[in-house]
């Protein structure tokens, strides 16, 4: 499979394989990657990944593993065995969990990118306080991103608002995969902290997860082309 250089990852948030593949077939695997999340994977299983690989797509398997070190390492190895381009764990699993995952990947010389989720953007400062995380969400994001980097992760999932700070702390080479992307003329929907594709890249995001702005468009490839033009 040829390496592609686009930052765009299209979220295939569907509950069945035919719907996911109908959207995939409207997209060009040379111009975007795709993301398979918990709903599609739990309903369809690895067949979803295989069908997308058969169509030439690189896949981000977004299952956010969080378990004891040996179990999490087995899960990321299973994802890498399936040939996915990227997968992820929760940084809250701690240093030993992330190190075990990174070690398993490097021992087997997998090329799969392994990134960490720091703090779910859905959590408010009050909710974080309730689960024992004192201080701001931003401080916790920074702490966990640095721990993830020290533990061998290749990057983090983060909001574009966090990318600039994480670029300062973790460098350009540390991947910053950013959802909550809306084109300047796009619908906001249920997202709160949104940014345009060009602003997110300028802030330091290395990859952009785009869902409905492309998948709900009447012409998905035209929507994707408009995003490409905005970030040249």
Query: Per CB under 6 A, does 92 bind ligand C5P?
Result: no
Query: Per CB under 6 A, does 88 bind ligand C5P?
Result: no
Give the binding range for ligand C5P (CB under 6 A) out of 52-60, 76-84, 90-98, 173-181. 173-181
Residues 6+ apart with CB under 8 A from 186: 213
147: tokens are 């721990």
Query: Per CB under 6 A, does 19 bind ligand C5P?
Result: no
Contact with ligand C5P (CB under 6 A): which of 69, 92, 93, 211? 211
Concerning whether 64 is annotated as a catalytic residue, the answer is yes
Nearer of residues 59 and 181 to ligand C5P, judged by Cβ: 181
Nearer of residues 110 and 205 to ligand C5P, judged by Cβ: 205
Angle in degrees, CA 140, 143, 147, rounded to 5: 135
3-class DSSP state for residue 21? Answer: helix
CB 22 within 8 A of CB 47: no
Residues 6+ apart with CB under 8 A from 126: none
**Which residue has the CB atom at the shortest distance from ligand C5P?**
211
Contact with ligand C5P (CB under 6 A): which of 31, 66, 95, 212? 212
Strand 113-117 and strand 155-157: the pairing is parallel
Query: Per CB under 6 A, does 178 bind ligand C5P?
Result: no
Q: How many C-beta atoms lie closer than 10 Å to residue 53's C-beta?
A: 17
Q: What residues make contact with ligand C5P under the rule CB under 6 A? A: 11, 13, 37, 121, 157, 179-181, 191, 209-213
């Amino acid at each position: 499979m040829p390496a592609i250089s686009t930052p765009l990852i299209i979220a295939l948030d569907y509950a069945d394989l035919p719907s996911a593949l109908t959207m995939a077939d409207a997209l060009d695997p040379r111009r975007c990657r795709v993301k398979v999340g918990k709903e599609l994977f739990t309903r369809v299983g690895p067949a979803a990944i295989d069908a997308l690989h058969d169509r030439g797509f690189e896949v981000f398997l977004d299952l956010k593993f969080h378990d004891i070190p040996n179990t999490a390492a087995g899960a990321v190895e299973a994802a890498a065995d399936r040939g996915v381009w990227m997968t992820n764990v929760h940084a809250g699993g701690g240093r030993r969990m992330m190190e075990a995952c990174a070690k398993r990947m490097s021992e087997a010389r997998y090329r799969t990118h392994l990134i960490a989720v720091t703090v779910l953007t859905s959590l408010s400062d009050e909710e974080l306080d309730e689960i024992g995380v004192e201080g701001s969400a931003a401080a916790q994001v920074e702490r966990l991103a640095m721990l993830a980097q020290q533990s061998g992760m290749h990057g983090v999932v983060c909001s574009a608002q966090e990318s600039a700070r994480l670029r300062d702390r973790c460098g350009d080479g540390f991947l910053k995969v950013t959802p909550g992307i809306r084109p300047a003329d796009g619908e906001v929907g249920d997202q709160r902290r949104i940014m345009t594709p060009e602003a997110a890249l300028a802030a330091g995001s290395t990859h952009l997860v785009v869902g409905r702005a492309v998948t709900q468009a009447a012409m998905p490839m035209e929507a994707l082309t408009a995003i490409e033009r905005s970030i040249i």
